[in-house]
Amino acid sequence: MATPSTDVRRHPERTGDAALVREVLDEALIVHVGTVRDGWPVVLPMAHGRDGDTLYLHGSAAAGVFRDVRGGSRVCVTATIVDALVLTRSAFNHSMNYRCAVVYGEALAATNLDAAVRAVVEHNLPGRNADVRQPTEAELRETGIWQLDLTTASAKVRTGGPIEDPADLDLPAWAGVVPVRTVLGEPVPDEGVTAAPPHLRD
Amino acid sequence: MATPSTDVRRHPERTGDAALVREVLDEALIVHVGTVRDGWPVVLPMAHGRDGDTLYLHGSAAAGVFRDVRGGSRVCVTATIVDALVLTRSAFNHSMNYRCAVVYGEALAATNLDAAVRAVVEHNLPGRNADVRQPTEAELRETGIWQLDLTTASAKVRTGGPIEDPADLDLPAWAGVVPVRTVLGEPVPDEGVTAAPPHLRD
């Protein structure tokens, strides 16, 4: 199966390894899943989870992106975390610090739906499965979860400060790094809930 | 040009309008851009900016995704903002609140590079252009900025609280909404910088 090259063509020093692919997938709240439909790329956000080298994607079985997958569409799954805005003294050199993982493969219906649901539910809420009612057979049939091996994957990272043209260093503009973080706010309980909020990841 | 349908097939009540497409694109720090390469979908994160109904995408002219565009590849540009995790008493009904914009089109090299650079630099840093050195002709030639009309675009939104099976309402699990926000941290100045940090968006 010849996938697009996962070599990072530009800035190969920013290439990451398998551990980084896992780190980015685990930290990202969602992924963006690309398929091809009638010659057009289609990119949609999806919930996901990981168990070892298996990546699970969750969507309704009726969702368009999974119609493509049933028809044999190849997928590209991309997770990106923006870590900072990098401001330079010139417009041209502005950048961002980020970590990005890209996975190519052919998605198949999950073979172990219990494990798949578990991985997706745990993804943003470690330990959550212990607190909630597990799916019925009917619910599992309605759940579209697809799986993909992490065998063809790559990661790319940009870290550090501004990279300026030396001639720009005396310009009066502010330059530096503005960190970006995704944070969880105060949980808002549903009506009638008295249980303590679940453990939330940082 | 027949693009994939931008009708929202499931949950049509979550469909948004042109104003929502703009709102989501403006709030998202980055977009995910899909192209097709040798029959495979390719999805990569990119910086972007908007000016009216023109969406600009920024990447090095040598970046793979733009090689596809030069070859006539159609693109799908997707921006997603996760607003909350929605926790239910059952594993099955967990969801997220989010806003997502999807734009289809054929990207062309930006016809007004000055306006394009300006839009991309302003995107995450309103007013930034006034502070920094503007691009030279040589820099503009090195900059890959592409443009796309917002004519074929759609948005989808999920808001609100948990939607539970009535039979689950008495289960002891915590249920509710956990807000998600992207925040900017304390700016870290580059060496030698004395100017005040720029105005940062909320």
| pLDDT tens readout for residues A72-93 | 679 999 999 999 999 999 999 9
Interface-testing mutation among A37, A38, A145, A190, with chain B (most B C-beta atoms within 10 A): A190
Pair B147, B56: CB distance under 8 Å: yes
User: Rounded distance, CA A67 to CA B31, Å?
Assistant: 24
Enumerate the β-bridge partners of residue A48: A57
Structure confidence by residue, pLDDT tens digits, B41-84: 999 999 999 999 999 999 765 466 666 666 667 999 999 999 99
Structure-token match 């992924």, residue found: A31
- Report the distance separating Cα A171 and Cα B171, nearest Å: 62
For B111-129, what is the mean pLDDT? 92
Average pLDDT value for residue range B145-172: 94
In B, which residues are within 8 Å of A195 by CB distance? 172-174
Q: How many beta carbons lie within 10 A of that of residue B129, not counting itself?
A: 16
pLDDT of residue B169: 95
Distance in Å, alpha carbon of A36 to nearest chain B alpha carbon? 6
Per-residue model confidence as pLDDT tens digits over A117-162: 999 999 999 999 999 999 999 998 888 889 999 999 999 999 999 9
> Is pLDDT of B140 > 60?
yes
- Chain B positions in Cβ-Cβ contact with residue A139 (cut-off 8 Å): 90, 92
Kindly state the percentage of chain B with pLDDT values over 70: 85
pLDDT of residue B71: 64
Q: Which residue type is seen at A43?
A: V
pLDDT at A1: 47
Dist CA A96 CA A87 (whole Å): 8
Out of A42, A45, A131, name the one closest to residue B76 (CB). Answer: A42
Q: Å from A122 to nearest chain B CA?
A: 10
User: Does the beta-carbon distance from A41 to B39 stay under 8 Å?
Assistant: no
- The pLDDT of B105-110, averaged and rounded, is 89
Residue B26 has which token pair? 């403006």
Q: Which residue in A36, A56, A57, A68 has the most chain B C-beta atoms within 10 A of its own C-beta, making it the best mutation to test that interface?
A: A36
Choose the mutation target among B14, B24, B37, B40 for the interface with A, i.e. most A CBs under 10 Å: B40
The pTM of this model reads: 0.92
Contact indicator for B144, B66 with CB cutoff of 8 Å: yes
Using the predicted structure, report yes or no on whether residue B3 has a pLDDT greater than 90: no
Output the pLDDT for position A10: 52
Return the percentage of chain B with pLDDT > 90, whole number.
67
Of A135, A142, A183, the CB nearest to B91: A135
Q: Which of B75, B70, B2, B1 is nearest to B32 (CA)?
A: B75
Per-residue model confidence (pLDDT) at position A72: 62
Distance from CA of A143 to the nearest CA of B (A): 8
Angstroms from B52 CA to nearest CA on chain A: 21
Closest partner residue to A187 (CB to CB) among B88, B164, B176 is: B176
Higher-pLDDT residue of A72 and B142 is B142
Tokens matching residue B93: 């009904």
Is the pLDDT assigned to residue B143 strictly greater than 70? yes
Q: Would you state the structure tokens that stand for residue A154, as one six-digit string? A: 């790559």
Indicate yes or no: CB of A176 within 8 angstroms of CB of B183: no
- Lowest-pLDDT range of A131-145, A161-175, B93-107: A131-145
Query: Six-digit token pair at B172?
Result: 């002891």
Question: Could you give the CA distance from residue A119 to residue B19 in angstroms, rounded to a whole number?
Answer: 36
pLDDT > 70: what percent of chain A? 85
pLDDT at A196: 82
Helix, strand, coil tally for chain B in percent (to 5): 20, 40, 40
pLDDT for the residue numbered A186 = 93
| The pLDDT value given to residue B1 | 47
Mean pLDDT of chain B: 88
Q: CA–CA separation, A45 vs B31, rounded Å?
A: 11
**What confidence tier does B10 reach under pLDDT thresholds 50, 70, 90?**
low
List the one residue out of A11, A163, A177, A185 whose CA is nearest residue A90.
A163
CB within 8 Å: B89 and A47: no
Nearest residue of A to residue B162, measured between CA atoms: A190
* Predicted confidence (pLDDT) per residue in A20-63, tens digit: 999 999 999 999 999 998 889 999 999 999 999 999 999 765 46
